[in-house]
Amino acid sequence: MAGSRHSVVHLASPDDMEQQFYEALQHADLDRLMSVWSDEEEISCVHPGGPRLLGPRAIRASYEALFVHGALHVEPTQVRRLHTHSTAVHSLVERARVMTPRGPESAWVLVTNVYVKTGHGWRLVSHHASPGAPDEPGEALPSATTLLH
């Protein structure tokens, strides 16, 4: 149906956009990933331990470099949402599957994602990620060992 994709974009919530963001990472889909981001020059991105990246060009290049190694095994957990009419601030803990000398383990990354409502729908304007402590998720979640079974 003509215009249906456009409608979907407009109706998408911040949660929908966040789901698209992580699915794009999980499939190393660069175009889909960048469609979640705003195209403003002032958007910012910090990968864990990395420098500050500003603007769509630098951010796209960073993901392109990451995807050389394939898709990212990362999923959002413990999402806390602060929503206003036109702003959505999501604080979450990413669980990443990483290889270690002891085999695959979970690593935890603290993330703040900020979305703003634009004329084209909700768009990501800031992604700040930093390494979490090994026991980040706390006692409320099953252990990494359990998660891998």
Which of 39, 81, 143, 145 touches a second copy by CB under 8 A? 81
Size of the site for a second copy (CB under 8 A): 32
Distance in Å, CB of 128 to a second copy, minimum: 4
Nearest to 128 by CA among 87, 91, 75, 80: 91
* Contact (CB, 8 A) for 130 and 139: no
Query: Which structure tokens are listed for 114?
Result: 């900020």
Which residue, among 125, 137, 147, 131, has the nearest Cα to 54 in the 3D structure? 125
What is the radius of gyration, based on Cα positions, of the chain? 16
Structure token digits, residue 82: 């602060």
Q: Which of 58, 110, 144, 147 binds a second copy (CB under 8 A)?
A: 110
How far apart, in whole angstroms, are the C-alpha atoms of residue 132 and residue 121? Answer: 31
Q: How far is the CB of 99 from a second copy (least distance, A)?
A: 23
What are the phi and psi torsion angles at 19 (to 5°)?
-65, -40
Residue 31: count of CB within 10 angstroms of its CB: 8
With binding defined as CB under 8 A, does residue 84 bind a second copy? Answer: yes
Minimum CB–partner distance for residue 82 and a second copy (Å): 4
Question: Least distance to a second copy from the beta carbon of 87, Å?
Answer: 4
**Contact mark string toward a second copy, 85..104, x via CB under 8 A:** xxx-x-x-x-----------
Q: Under rule CB under 8 A, which residues in 18-57 are in contact with a second copy?
A: 40, 42-44, 46, 48-49, 51-52, 54
CA 29/CA 8 separation, integer angstroms: 19
Instruction: Return residues touching a second copy (CB under 8 A).
Output: 40, 42-44, 46, 48-49, 51-52, 54, 80-82, 84-87, 89, 91, 93, 110, 112, 114, 116, 125-126, 128, 130-133, 136
